[in-house]
Chain A
Amino acid sequence: MRHFLILLLSLGLFAEAASSPSLEEQIAALNQKSFNAKITAVQNLAITGDNRVVPILEALLNGKLFIRKSDQKIVIAAKQGKVYILYEPLTLAEIEPVKKRKLKKIRINNQVRKAIRAALGGLKLFDPEPEQRLQAAEAVFKSRKVDLLPTLEKALEGETERAVQDKMTMALAATRLSSAAEPETRISAAQTLANYTEPDVRAFLGSLLIEQQDGSFPESDAQVRAAVAESIKKIEKDLAFWAFIGNLFQGISLGSVLLLASIGLAITFGVMGVINMAHGEMVMLGAYTTFIVQDIFRTLMPEAFDYSLLVAVPAAFLVAGLFGILIERGIIRFLYTRPLETLLATWGISLILQQLVRSIFGPTNQEVGNPSWMSGAIELSGGVLLTYNRIWIIVFSLVVFVCLLVILRKSRFGLQMRAVTQNRRMASSMGIRTGTIDAFTFGLGSAIAGIAGVALSQIDNVSPNLGQSYIIDAFMVVVFGGVGNLWGTLVGAMSLGITNKFLEPYAGAVLAKILILVAIILFIQKRPRGLFALKGRAVET
Chain B
Amino acid sequence: MKNQVRMFIVALFLMSTAVHAADKVIKVGILHSLSGTMAISETTLKDAVLMLIEDLNKQGGLLGKKVQPVVVDTASNWPLFAEKARELLAKNKVDVVFGCWTSVSRKSVLPVFEELNGLLFYPVQYEGEESSRNVFYTGAAPNQQAIPAVEYLMSEDGGGAERFVLLGTDYVYPRTTNKILRAFLHAKGISDKDIMEKYTPFGHSDWQTIVAEVRNFASQGKATAVISTINGDANVPFYKELGNQGVQAEEIPVIAFSVGEEELAGIDTAPLVGHLAAWNYFMSVDTDANEGFIEQWHTYIGNKERVVNDPMEAHYIGFKMWVQAVRQAGTTNVDAVRQAMYGQQVKSLSGYDVVMNTNHHLSKPVMIGEIQDDGQFEIVWNTEGVIKGDAWSDYIPESAKLTADWTYPWVCGNCEKPKYAAAD
B200 in contact with A203 (CB, 8 Å): no
Chain B minimum-CB-distance residue to A384: B212
A505 in contact with B213 (CB, 8 Å): yes
A63 in contact with B233 (CB, 8 Å): no
Instruction: Chain B residues near A362: list those with CB within 8 A.
Output: 43
B209 in contact with A107 (CB, 8 Å): no
Q: How far, in whole Å, are A200 and B220 apart by their CA atoms in the complex?
A: 9
Given contacts A210-B222, A363-B43, contact A459 B209 (CB under 8 A): no
Chain A minimum-CB-distance residue to B210: A509
Chain A: interface size category? 35 or more
B226 within 8 A of A: no
B237 in contact with A460 (CB, 8 Å): yes
A358 in contact with B35 (CB, 8 Å): yes
A387 in contact with B244 (CB, 8 Å): yes
Q: How far, in whole Å, are A370 and B200 apart by their CA atoms in the complex?
A: 25
B204 within 8 A of A: yes
How many Å from the CB of A264 to the closest CB on chain B?
Answer: 18
Which chain A residues in 380-439 approach chain B with CB under 8 Å?
A: 383-385, 387-390
Pick the contact of B233 from A204, A208, A369, A461 — CB < 8 Å?
Answer: A461
A463 in contact with B233 (CB, 8 Å): yes
Pick the contact of A113 from B204, B218, B274 — CB < 8 Å?
Answer: B274
**A 449-471 binary contact with B (CB < 8 Å = 1; else 0):** 00000000001111111000100
Chain B: interface size category? 35 or more
Given contacts A109-B370, A199-B219, contact A365 B212 (CB under 8 A): no
A354 within 8 A of B: yes
A243 in contact with B265 (CB, 8 Å): no
Given contacts A113-B274, A250-B208, A257-B206, contact A203 B157 (CB under 8 A): no
B204 in contact with A207 (CB, 8 Å): no
Given contacts A107-B380, A509-B198, contact A250 B209 (CB under 8 A): yes
How many Å from the CB of A136 to the closest CB on chain B?
Answer: 16
Given contacts A205-B221, A210-B222, A460-B237, contact A465 B204 (CB under 8 A): no
Interface centre among A375, A390, A461, A509 (most CB of B within 10 A): A461
Instruction: Chain B residues near A354: list those with CB within 8 A.
Output: 35
Chain B minimum-CB-distance residue to A236: B219
How many Å from the CB of B32 to the closest CB on chain A?
Answer: 11
B40 in contact with A364 (CB, 8 Å): yes
A250 in contact with B266 (CB, 8 Å): no
A460 in contact with B157 (CB, 8 Å): no
A385 in contact with B274 (CB, 8 Å): no
Q: How far, in whole Å, are A390 and B245 apart by their CA atoms in the complex?
A: 11
A110 within 8 A of B: yes
Q: How far, in whole Å, are A370 and B36 apart by their CA atoms in the complex?
A: 26
B170 within 8 A of A: yes
Which chain A residues in 108-153 approach chain B with CB under 8 Å?
A: 109-111, 113-114, 117
A97 within 8 A of B: no
Q: How far, in whole Å, are A464 and B33 apart by their CA atoms in the complex?
A: 14
Which chain B residues in 243-294 approach chain A with CB under 8 Å?
A: 243-246, 249-250, 253, 262, 265-268, 271, 273-274
B39 in contact with A110 (CB, 8 Å): no
A504 in contact with B274 (CB, 8 Å): no
A202 within 8 A of B: yes
B373 within 8 A of A: yes
Instruction: Chain B residues near A114: list those with CB within 8 A.
Output: 250
User: Can you list 15 pairs linking A and B with CB atoms under 8 Å apart?
Assistant: A199-B218, A199-B219, A204-B221, A205-B221, A206-B220, A206-B221, A250-B208, A253-B206, A355-B35, A365-B233, A383-B216, A388-B244, A459-B205, A504-B210, A509-B200
Q: What 10 pairs across the A-B complex have the smallest Cβ distances?
A: A206-B221, A365-B266, A207-B221, A199-B219, A363-B39, A387-B244, A250-B208, A203-B219, A509-B200, A114-B250
5 additional contacts, CB 8 Å, given A110-B274, A207-B221, A250-B212?
A111-B159, A113-B274, A250-B208, A354-B35, A367-B266
